[in-house]
Structure formats: structure tokens, C-alpha cells
A = this chain, B = another copy of it.
Amino acid sequence: MCSESSHPLELCAHREDAVLSTMQDVPLTVTRILNHGTTIHGSSHVTTWTGESEPHRRSYREIGERAAQLAHALRGDLGVTGDERVATLMWNNAEHVEAYYAIPCMGAVLHTLNLRLPVEQLVFIVNHAADRVVIVNGSLLPLLAPLLPHLPTVEHVVVSGPGDRSVLDGAAARVHDYEELLAGKPTTYDWPELDERSAAAMCYTSGTTGDPKGVVYSHRSIYLHSMQVNMAESMGVTDADTSLVVVPQFHVNAWGLPHAVLMTGVNMLMPDRFLQPGPLAEMIETERPTHAAAVPTIWQGLLAELTAKPRDVSSLTQVTIGGAACPPSLMEAFDALGMRVCHAWGMTETSPLGTVARPPAHAVGTDAEFGYRLTQGRFPAGVEARLRGPGGEFLPWDGESAGELEVRGPWIAGAYYGGAAGEPLRPADKFSEDGWLKTGDVGVIGPDGFLTLTDRAKDVIKSGGEWISSVELENALMAHPEVAEAAVVAVPDEKWGERPLATVVLKDGATADYPALKEFLAGRIARWQLPERWAAVPSVPKTSVGKFDKKVIRRQYADGELQVTEVR
């Protein structure tokens, strides 16, 4: 076979006896996961928390039968064909799992809607994807109903579970009941044999700048990602496990878990809308999951709950934390409870598994182990990584050279969805010239492939061809006894391009002594990185999720709203 592009042509020309692989050409599709998981692992099950004394249990065999019924309903009753988009506005539950399989396996595209987005973004997303059907949990109808008049492509609304349907009265879309649609439909479906590169599911990023951007996962990317999740170096779950999937199914396919666990017969425990610490603690105690996945905020809440009211959580030995860095104190507290935390890093654009922080064998049991666990983790073979400096140059993996992380791999996005009839979008700030994803994250990689992220690229200060970490400066400033909070942003500088501006919130009674603060920093940070510009502020502007809103600070500076002192 001489199809490799970088191969000199003469290598191919002079031989006629090309050796062809004799392997079967079998596509990697979500349908294979469905067929396998619902037969060979047919007795494993999805448990959905109901808030009542008995959770709802459904075997994978039943999930498979109902997925077939749902496909018949979507095709026969609702006329969904080809690669039309079917949206879900749902919590994590058995019906959402059925939609996860019925829609891609019939050849359509699953579009999960993030119910926490601002409504304008939800409207934008549904229209951009041109969703034709929305499957919605009854409990979320109050969110959907007022949006419907702004969603002209939505012809059908399918309602699952309890909730007041009357809020849909007068809607232009036809309204169906999920269970009524399924009732009486055949429990098998002649799933088409799909191209593994065809679209299976889509998810929009909730970027803080610009419109949300759609990532379209292929059957192939989902299949390969599922295998990786199941590898012992990643989650390594088997049919002896039950996975508590707290991370929402509308958030990067619940980190790929509903696909991965069906592949190997792991049981799913789904919290539905009961995401508060009390119910979570109760479902862990009574359903005894062995694995769980969620963002740090969820675990902080659970920790407080367990401290206030201890429960038996001894079954839960593996906790995957992603979405944001896990505070060391949280990791230690969970370790003490026997819930071993494993850090992972990823993005909507990476399906999301990018790294997993299992410490290397040589560090286990040593002082270095905890440090490795606090990194973002190590890349698996499916994710190639490189670091690029301010000038685009490639940086070494020495654990010291900080650059923007770029990644490549079969479950990594190489473009964004361009909308109906549009070409895929490849903005230059998101994709490199050779197709790698620019993650927007800045960090270092050690010689053994462990990633430590320090900044978002947009928050790094580009000073004279070098990068200064805003986070490092902030952490150093906040170690000062008189500083309550500190935010550092890049501001334009004639000589250096950019220089850091330090904004500090002082503790009650403290007065601003900038030279002293700068001297304090000098013991911790290289001198050329120290800010010349300082401003005391009453509070740091924050986004709706509580992160520093550096856009606002930069605008305040540009508009002259800050009282800036120069300290040379």
C-alpha cells in the first residue's frame, strides 16, 4: 500500500506485488456498542434516581428494546430521516440513554442541549443545528416552553417523565408523550450499517466569547474514545463496576461514560435532577457505586454533606474529577474517606478524554505521588500533544517551558460545525495550520508526558516574546497577609507589547503599599515578570460561574476606570 502522502513516489512505483491487509473492513460505530452492550451485557442495568423510596431500574436488554422502539417512533411517527438533528433537553436518566443510542444508530444526529446555558444561547444553538425534534424531560418544560416560539425548525416535542404539559398549550410544534410514542412499537430495529466517519452526536461549547460553536462527534470518534475510557490506564471499569454519572449527559456526552460503560457492561447510576449533596450521598449509600465522575463543585458539596452527616460511602473507591482543577485539600479529604480521586483533563473538543492523572508506577508510594495526582495527567496513545511558545515555536517537554497546548487524535476536533449547508469552520485561533486543536490552555509537560496547566492562553501576558503567567502572579499575591484577592491581566505596553497589571482587593484595614507588595513578589517570581502597574479595587469582577472576569478588568483599564499606580 503506497497511499502515504509523505512517502517518496519511487517506493511505490517499482513493485507490483503490493501486500494488502487481509483484515475485515468493519466500521467502528455506536451501533456496535449498542448491539454488544444490550445482548452480551443485557443483564447489566441503568438505575435512575427518582427521589422516592425506590429508584427505577432498567436492564441493558430493555434499553436496547426501547431504543429500537424510539427509533421506530422517530422514523415512522415523526419522519426523522438521514442525518437530521434530534435534540435532547434532559437530565441523566434511562430515557436519555435510550436517546443516546436510538438517534445515532438510526443514522440521525443526537444534539444534547445544555440546560444551564443562558436562554439566548440555547435559542442560537437549536437554530444553528436546525433541530427538528426535541426530547425533553417534563421537569424541564418551564425552561423549554418560552423558547419554542423562537425555534422555527422544531416540529416535534417529545415529553418524558412527570411535569406539567399544559405549558406547551398553543405551541406550533406537535407535542408527544415519550411512553405513548414507544408503546407497541417493535422491540428490534434493522439498524443501518453506517460509515464510521458519519456524524453521530453534537455538542456546543459554551465559550465565554462569541457564539457557541458546535463539535460534531463521529461514530468512529465515540467508539475509540469508549475503548480508551475502558483501558486500565484510564477509568478501567468492568462489569463489576457501577458508575455514578453525575457529569451531565448534555456536557460532552457525560464525558463519554454512557457509551463506554455499555461497551463493557458497567452498570450506570443516574441522578436525574437530584444533583444536590443530600440525594447524592443517599444514592451512594444505597446503590453502592464503585466509580463516579463529576466536576469539583459537586464533590465540594458532597464533602460538606458527608462531614455534616456521615454516610457509608465505602463502595465508592474511584472518583474521576475533571472540568476544573481539583483543590489539593479536596483530594486529601476524599482520600481520607477512601474515595480515591483521579484527575482528568479534557474539553468539548476532545470528547473529552485528553489526560488522566494516574501517577506513574515509579512514583506510587513515594513523596512524588501526590504531586503527579495534582497534575492534569498523562496523555494516552490516542492523544498526541505539543507545546508552542509565544512565537509559535515548539517547546521541549522539560517540565519548565510553558506554552499553549495543541493536541491531535482520532477523538479530537479539527473544525467546528458550520451550520446547515455550511462548510466546517476552522478559525485560526482554534486550529493550527496543520490541523491540530489549539486548546487555549497554557502549561508545561514533563519528560514523562504529565501535563500541568497554569493559565488560559488568553490570560497569559505576552511580554517581549516571553510569557508571564497571570495565575502564578495571582497566587503569589494572594499569599500576602494583607491581600484578600488579586487578579492580574495583560495591558498594552509600548516597549514590551504587553505587561501585567495587578489589581488587588485588600483586607479590611489594610492600605495599599504597592512597593512593598512588589518586593514581596520579588522573593517568589522572576524580577522581569513583576508588575509595574498596580490598582486597588473593592472586588474582582466575576463571571456567572464565579471565575475572574478578566475581560471586564481589561475594559476598565482601557476606559480609564481604574486608579493605576506605577511602581518602577
Contact = CB atoms under 8 A, between A and B. Distances in A.
A447 B39 CA distance: 8
B12 A82 contact: yes
Contacts of A4: 107, 192-195, 198
Secondary structure class of chain A's binding surface, majority of residues: loop
A449 B24 contact: no
A516 interface: no
Interface string A340-366: 000000000000000000101110100
Interface stretch (A62-70, A142-150, A228-236): A228-236
Contact of A19 (B16, B194, B202): B202
Interface string A379-413: 11110100000000000000000000000111111
Interface in A1-56: 1-7, 10-12, 14-26, 28, 32-33, 35-37, 39-43
Contacts of A467: none
A29 to B, nearest CB: 9
Residue among A5, A16, A233, A449 with most chain B CB within 10 A: A233
A412 B381 contact: no
A239 interface: yes
Contacts of A384: 26, 32, 35-36
B25 A197 contact: yes
Given A193-B6, A230-B231, A409 B26 contact: yes
Contacts of A23: 197, 216-218, 220-221, 410-414
Contacts of A220: 21, 23
Contact of A216 (B17, B19, B238): B19
Interface stretch (A165-173, A416-424, A544-552): A416-424
For this chain, the copies found in one complex come to 2
A448 interface: yes
A433 to B, nearest CB: 14
A109 to B, nearest CB: 5
Given A12-B82, A233-B239, A22 B449 contact: no
A286 interface: no
16 contacts: A3-B194, A3-B198, A4-B107, A14-B82, A19-B216, A20-B417, A20-B424, A22-B416, A22-B417, A22-B424, A24-B414, A26-B410, A28-B224, A36-B384, A40-B449, A232-B238
Given A14-B81, A23-B413, 20 more contacts: A1-B83, A1-B199, A3-B198, A6-B193, A11-B107, A16-B421, A17-B421, A19-B417, A21-B199, A22-B216, A22-B413, A22-B424, A23-B218, A24-B410, A24-B414, A24-B437, A26-B408, A224-B227, A238-B358, A265-B360
The list of the 10 closest CB pairs from A to B, nearest first, reads A40-B449, A1-B198, A21-B218, A17-B420, A24-B414, A3-B195, A240-B361, A232-B236, A36-B381, A4-B192
